[in-house]
Structure 1
Amino acid sequence: MKVMKWSVIALAVAAGTSQMALASQQSEAKGFVEDANLDLLLRTTYFNRDYKDNRADARSLGQGFITTFESGFTQGTVGVGVDAYGILGVRLDGGRGHTYGAMFERDSNGDPERDLSQAGAAVKLQFSNTVIKYGNQFPSLPVLAYDDSRLLPESFTGTLITSNEIEGLELNAGRFTADSAMQSSSRDSLNYLDLTLKSIDVVGGTYAFTDNLSASLYYADNEDIAKKKYANVNYVMPLTADQSLAFDFNIYDNKYDKRAFGETQDTTIWSLSAKYSVGSHAFILAHQRVTGDGNYEYDIGDGGSSIWVANSYYSDFNSKDERSWQASYELDFSDYGVPGLFWKTAYVYGDNVDTGTGEGKETEFFNQVQYVVQSGPAKDLSLKLRNSIYRSNSDMRNYYSEDLNEIRAFIEYPLSIL
């Protein structure tokens, strides 16, 4: 597609006539200590996958302690700072028959670890509106995105440059050489291909043409595994004071290396969603398609959240030749006297999957409710409960996943120490 032939340079050219950023971030730096923050996030996570074929359920309960320190930048032409973190996860449930492997890795005897811990730090430099960071960090880009959907966050080791020199344009470039998965203390975690990350180079950017229109382009070269291109266009059309219509288009074009997949594969996945918002309500329709030689693969050294498409819930509806449709609804209870309470429900149907044995079909019914305490001693305490009911036909069941009901529950309490 033509959109995939664009380069990040095209974004910069398009922005060339725009106004330069008026204020320099570095000129406003107050100092290493003066702008520093030290935070502790207490997170309790419960996970339960109830498989409907009578196999043993996968479940786990853990308590996480996530401490993060972000310094300010020293004053001067070039500012210097440090970011650091320390994380600890403690298993609260029983032994081998009770543990979900994506929360606690197993020891040499096949038993889940009692606890996981890790510490990391990154040095950062800032000049004008550009930051260079080297060390352990949590990148969140469409082609390299850390996963934080269980107990402890995934992290990467490498260098990331983030530049905001032109107003409305953010450019990113980086190289990372190690990945630490959510359930592991290791810096060189194995992905599901039983491979470790050798290196991944990323480059890209996002440009806001107006307050309502933005576009993104990214490219990643995951050594000996995959080369990925990504594009996004997002447009919000205001209708009235409390009504709007938003369109979001995402596309990945990927080439997978035969050294990892047995043969060279070229796969594209795209999604288009339309969201109508009126007051506290939002109604979403989305369509998503996969074309090419195979599945859209992710979490292969590029992070467990590197799938920025519309129909990604328990299932990502990312199988070979799959077509999927979504209808969903969101409700913010603020206008009903309960600020901080939010509910989302979605139904997704997928078909046309080439399983090699027939046509695969799958459905998911998703619900999530979240409440954040707005005031008082427990201010910012967050309670989140999500449920997925997943079903598939026999061809899909053998190809992707068995039928299951999944529950994820999170209790989070952030504490600002400094």
Structure 2
Amino acid sequence: MKVMKWSVIALAVAAGTSQMALASQQSESKGFVEDASLDLLLRNTYFNRDYKDGVGDVRSWGQGFITTFESGFTQGTIGVGVDAYGILGVRLDGGKGYNYNAMFERDSNNEPERDLSQAGAAIKAQFSNTVIKYGNQFPSMPVLAYDDSRLLPESFTGTLITSNEIEGLELNAGRFTADSAMSSSSRDSVGLNSADVFGGSYQLNENLSASLYFSDVEDVYKKKYANVNYVMPMGAEQALSFDFNIYKTKYDNETIPDAFFGDGTFGDDSTIWSLAAKYSVGAHAFILAHQRVSGDAGYAYDLGDGGSSIWVANSYYSDFNWKDERSYQASYELDFSSFGAPGLFWKTAYVYGDNIDVASGEGKEREFFNQVQYVVQSGPVKDLSLKLRNSIYRSNGALRDAGSPDLNEIRAFVEYPLSIL
């Protein structure tokens, strides 16, 4: 979420006039074991989606164990290392009639799995401030981003190069050939042929940053993404910031199987952009945002590029990404640290969308979102996180006919990170 028009030439010029990074990450490496870390995240997730027509309600409750190991790099001109993970999810509730398939996939008997598990590893090499990694990993870029919003994280298999040779500039280039969904133990449950990605972000100064990315998911779509963020300090504990995001998508096929868009018929291209303004004063923040979709179709994602590859302002339960949709957001954030409760944070938002082009007429939708989170600051359970979010979603008849029914949703998370090494 960020502001302003940017181009490849402007990015290159700005990068070329920057100072080179002052220190080499590889020269500061202490060793494979000395810089290694081993962490365990205990995550308990409850999910309840109540459809107002009384049909298709889902609820699931699970316990997740997410173990990650990151080695350091061996010393020398080129350092090598290994990253690995092991994940286990155990279903605590959510039988055949109510299971949420985005948490636990179904077996050959159409029964939800009792547990899910997966292990993966990647080898990595570092030269100066550039790292190349091959294997199973969790990439997070605007056009290819793993989803970690349920019980277990989505993962990808492929190669990713990350370079920070110029101070303030990060460049990424990668090719991925497998995508494992959050609810699956399979290495490539999505059926990805290949996804190529290239781009980077640049911090021009402490107030202004920009990014530009390209991607190509084979036989699905090609995307371009741009983002600019500007923060304007306004005195003590006050600031005004602007965020602009834009995706331009070129679909490779006229028909892509995606039930969210009704019959799944796509045209040639789609554009979605959002602009958000945020005024922060002390513990308070007030946000206004506008988002628009144009072109032959709505904005599609999670078809080989990950469930989090939608970096726009109006993305909550609904992404407000239907064909020709215009949406408007008003939201408020409160950090309770100033009131003697550090670690407690609340966000509320209202988003309204209209002008949606669906077969039965103009679609309209609205969402009222609330989320409260508390992180324990000290004591024996320091860093224990409790998060509760609720979405109340309503649509008109035209949009309900297109497959977007009214619902109330609750998501609850309890997370406890443990540092083992």
Q: TM-score, normalised by structure 2?
A: 0.96
- Alpha-carbon shift at residue 400 of structure 1 (Å): 4.0
Indicate whether 1:250 and 2:251 are aligned: no
Indicate whether 1:348 and 2:343 are aligned: no
Equivalents in 1 of 2:371, 2:306: separation in Å?
23
Q: Which residue of 2 aligns with 1:20?
A: 20
Paired residue secondary structure (1:44): strand
Tell me which stretches of 4 or more aligned residues in structure 1 moved more than 6 Å. none
Equivalents in 2 of 1:263, 1:393: separation in Å?
23
Q: Which residue of 2 aligns with 1:369?
A: 372
Q: Which residue of 1 aligns with 2:193?
A: 198
Alpha carbon RMSD of aligned pairs, Å? 1.2
8 Å contact kept, 1:254–1:266: yes
Q: Which residue of 2 aligns with 1:91?
A: 91
Q: Which residue of 1 aligns with 2:260?
A: none
Equivalents in 1 of 2:192, 2:6: separation in Å?
27
Deviation by residue 1:181-231 (Cα, 9 ceiling, x = unmatched): 0000111213xxxxx210000000001111100000000011110000000
Paired residue secondary structure (1:258): coil
- Alpha-carbon shift at residue 11 of structure 1 (Å): 1.6
The one-letter amino acid paired with 1:6 is S
Equivalents in 2 of 1:163, 1:259: separation in Å?
36
Indicate whether 1:315 and 2:310 are aligned: no
Q: Which residue of 2 aligns with 1:193?
A: none
Indicate whether 1:294 and 2:306 are aligned: no
8 Å contact kept, 1:253–1:269: yes
Paired residue secondary structure (2:97): helix
Indicate whether 1:357 and 2:374 are aligned: no
Equivalents in 1 of 2:392, 2:362: separation in Å?
21
8 Å contact kept, 1:64–1:151: yes
- Alpha-carbon shift at residue 6 of structure 1 (Å): 2.9
Rate the CA distance shift 1:95–1:202 in 2: closer, same or farther, 3 A.
same
Paired residue secondary structure (2:341): coil
Equivalents in 2 of 1:256, 1:388: separation in Å?
31
8 Å contact kept, 1:4–1:229: no
Q: Which residue of 2 aligns with 1:140?
A: 140
Q: Which residue of 1 aligns with 2:388?
A: 385
- Which deviates the most, 256-265 or 43-52? 256-265
- Alpha-carbon shift at residue 13 of structure 1 (Å): 2.6
8 Å contact kept, 1:11–1:205: no
Indicate whether 1:37 and 2:40 are aligned: no
Indicate whether 1:213 and 2:208 are aligned: yes
Equivalents in 1 of 2:25, 2:253: separation in Å?
45
The one-letter amino acid paired with 1:402 is P
- Alpha-carbon shift at residue 264 of structure 1 (Å): 4.5
- Is there any run of 5+ residues in structure 2 with no aligned partner, and where? 257-264
8 Å contact kept, 1:161–1:173: yes
Deviation by residue 1:286-340 (Cα, 9 ceiling, x = unmatched): 0000000011000000000000000000000000000000000000000000000
Equivalents in 2 of 1:203, 1:366: separation in Å?
34
Deviation by residue 1:217-250 (Cα, 9 ceiling, x = unmatched): 0000111100000000000000012000000000
The 5 Å alignment of 1:205-244 reads 205-244=200-239
Aligned length: 410
Equivalents in 2 of 1:338, 1:4: separation in Å?
40
The one-letter amino acid paired with 2:196 is D
Equivalents in 1 of 2:251, 2:136: separation in Å?
27
8 Å contact kept, 2:6–2:226: no
Q: TM-score, normalised by structure 1?
A: 0.96
8 Å contact kept, 1:225–1:260: no
- Is there any run of 5+ residues in structure 1 with no aligned partner, and where? 191-195
8 Å contact kept, 2:238–2:279: yes
2:283 corresponds to which of 280, 283, 287: 280
- Alpha-carbon shift at residue 76 of structure 1 (Å): 0.4
8 Å contact kept, 2:266–2:297: no
Equivalents in 2 of 1:96, 1:166: separation in Å?
53
8 Å contact kept, 2:270–2:297: yes
Q: Which residue of 2 aligns with 1:334?
A: 337
Equivalents in 2 of 1:13, 1:203: separation in Å?
18
Equivalents in 2 of 1:17, 1:6: separation in Å?
16
8 Å contact kept, 1:344–1:368: yes
8 Å contact kept, 1:12–1:169: no
Deviation by residue 1:108-138 (Cα, 9 ceiling, x = unmatched): 1111000000000000000100000000000
Indicate whether 1:404 and 2:407 are aligned: yes
Paired residue secondary structure (2:348): strand
8 Å contact kept, 1:99–1:112: yes
Paired residue secondary structure (1:211): coil
Q: Which residue of 1 aligns with 2:261?
A: none
Deviation by residue 1:318-373 (Cα, 9 ceiling, x = unmatched): 00000000000000000000000000000000000001210000000000000000
